[in-house]
Structure formats: structure tokens, C-alpha cells
């Protein structure tokens, strides 16, 4: 009985670790990114290949520093990095997800700085292999118009993902109701397949464990009786 309880506890513990472990994220060091121009800037991942479920958003989190515009750059007047919009774009240029949020920013005598928190953007399930992109835009709102401050394209490579990666990776839904307008874009993040189907496979797993323990108990008792009976018969013969 004690052995049976230990086995059940061990299997339950492994199931708990399997479910919880993908949700645990490791903290990363502070990123400081210096941008010398407010035009489109291109950053690359430096040869790192990502798989489904990878926290690509954590790579671009950090503090961005911009040199203040010169006096003659009149087109930059009034532009501030009040907000951020991040698109996740796949290898064929399709938007798979969008993240919108306010920023924390400030300025010194020489720089603007803007803090970008981790947007928690992951590589989605069944992501196609190839070059993907995060398009980061800092902007401010002027009435219904958007006053773009800067745009950064972070290019990275996505490789083949395992079945386990795809089961735990999120499922993204992107909806653009009015083309050319970013304010109406909607990104919905659904949990991975393993979580969506949890109400199906957890009861089946528990039922399977109950059946397994009952069968193993019956078989164990039958073997014990047979062994005990054989031992008695052996004593009679002697």
C-alpha cells in the first residue's frame, strides 16, 4: 500500500511539473539599446534560432536611448514615445500578433529614453521556419492621428519545433478590421493545445491511473495467492 501511494505521488508530481514548467520564465539582464536615428532601424538576433514557445519578447525588452533631434529637424517637433505597438510578423510578411501599451519615458539634455517592458510575445505553435520579425513602433496620439516617433525591426530566425514545443506554445489570432490603421488591430493569445485540451486528457489520465493501480493490485494479489499456495503444496510433498 505504501509503495502504491509513493508511485501515485510521483506520477502526480511529474504531471504538475509538466504543466507548470513552461509557465516559469527566467529573468533576463537589463538591455540598453542606443539608437542613433529615429528612422527605421534594423536589429538582428545574431544567429540564434528560435522554436515554438520561445520568449522572443523578452529579447527586445529594455531601455531605448535616442539622441535628441537637431534644431533643423523640424519634422520631429512634438514627437514623443508615449506608446508602443509591436507586430509579430512571420516569414512571409503576415502579422500573427500585435501588442499595444503605454510606455515609461523621459529625457535628458541629450537623449530621450523609453522603457519597454517585456511584452510577453512568444513564438506561436506550428510556426513556419524562416526569418521572422518584430516591428516595434514608438508613437504618440494627436487626436485620432498617430505621430510616429521611431520604428525598429528586430529580425530573427525560427527553426523546426518539436511536438512538445508546439503543444505548449500559444496560439495567436490577429484581426485587422480597417487596413492601414493600427489602432484597430487586435491580437488574441490563446493558451497552448496542452492547456486547452486539459479538461479532456486529465480525466482520461486519472481514469487510466485508477485502472492501472486496480489491475496491478489484482495481479499482485493473484500472484501472492499462487505463490502462497505453491509454497503450501511444496511443504505437503516433503
Q: Is the confidence at residue 27, as pLDDT, over 70? A: no
Q: Report percent pLDDT > 90 for the chain.
A: 35
Domain boundaries in the chain?
Answer: 1-27+197-238, 31-192
| Residue predicted with more confidence, 235 or 190 | 190
Highest mean pLDDT among 56-70, 75-89, 90-104: 90-104
DSSP string of the chain? -HHHHHHHHHHHHHHHHHHHGGG-----PPPEEEES-SSEEEEEEEEEEE-TT--THHHH-EEEEEEPPPTT-GGGTT----EEEEEEE-TTS-EEEEEEEE-EEEE-SSEEEEEE------PPTTPPSEEEEEEEEEEEEETTEEEEEEEEEEEEEE----HHHHHHS-EEEEE-SSTT-STT-EEEEEPPHHHHTHHHHHHHHHHHHHHHHHHHHHHHHHHHHHHHHHHHHHHHH-
Looking at per-residue pLDDT, the higher value among 192 and 143 belongs to 192
* Residue 77 reports pLDDT greater than 80: no
More confident residue, 232 or 225: 225
pLDDT digits (tens, 9 = 90+) for 155-205: 999 999 999 999 999 999 998 766 656 566 889 999 999 998 888 888 888
Amino acid at each position: 500500500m505504501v509503495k502504491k501511494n509513493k508511485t501515485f505521488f510521483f506520477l502526480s508530481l511529474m504531471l504538475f511539473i509538466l504543466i507548470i514548467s513552461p509557465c516559469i520564465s527566467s529573468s533576463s539582464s537589463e538591455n540598453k539599446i542606443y539608437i542613433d536615428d529615429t528612422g527605421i532601424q534594423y536589429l538582428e538576433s545574431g544567429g540564434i534560432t528560435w522554436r515554438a514557445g520561445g520568449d522572443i519578447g523578452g529579447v527586445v525588452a529594455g531601455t531605448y536611448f535616442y539622441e535628441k533631434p537637431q534644431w533643423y529637424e523640424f519634422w520631429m517637433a512634438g514627437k514623443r514615445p508615449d506608446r508602443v505597438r509591436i507586430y509579430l510578423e512571420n516569414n512571409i510578411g503576415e502579422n500573427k500578433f500585435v501588442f499595444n501599451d503605454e510606455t515609461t519615458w523621459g529625457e535628458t539634455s541629450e537623449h530621450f529614453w523609453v522603457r519597454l517592458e517585456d511584452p510577453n510575445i512568444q513564438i506561436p505553435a506550428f510556426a513556419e521556419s524562416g526569418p521572422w520579425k518584430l516591428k516595434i513602433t514608438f508613437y504618440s496620439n494627436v487626436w485620432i492621428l498617430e505621430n510616429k516617433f521611431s520604428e525598429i525591426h528586430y529580425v530573427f530566425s525560427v527553426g523546426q519545433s518539436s511536438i512538445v514545443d508546439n503543444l505548449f506554445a500559444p496560439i495567436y489570432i490577429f484581426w485587422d478590421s480597417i487596413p492601414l490603421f493600427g489602432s484597430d488591430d487586435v491580437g488574441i493569445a490563446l493558451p497552448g493545445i496542452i492547456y486547452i485540451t486539459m479538461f479532456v486528457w486529465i480525466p482520461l489520465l486519472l481514469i487510466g491511473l485508477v485502472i492501472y493501480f486496480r489491475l496491478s493490485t489484482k495481479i499482485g494479489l493473484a500472484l501472492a495467492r499462487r505463490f502462497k499456495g505453491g509454497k503450501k503444496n511444496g511443504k505437503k510433498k516433503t
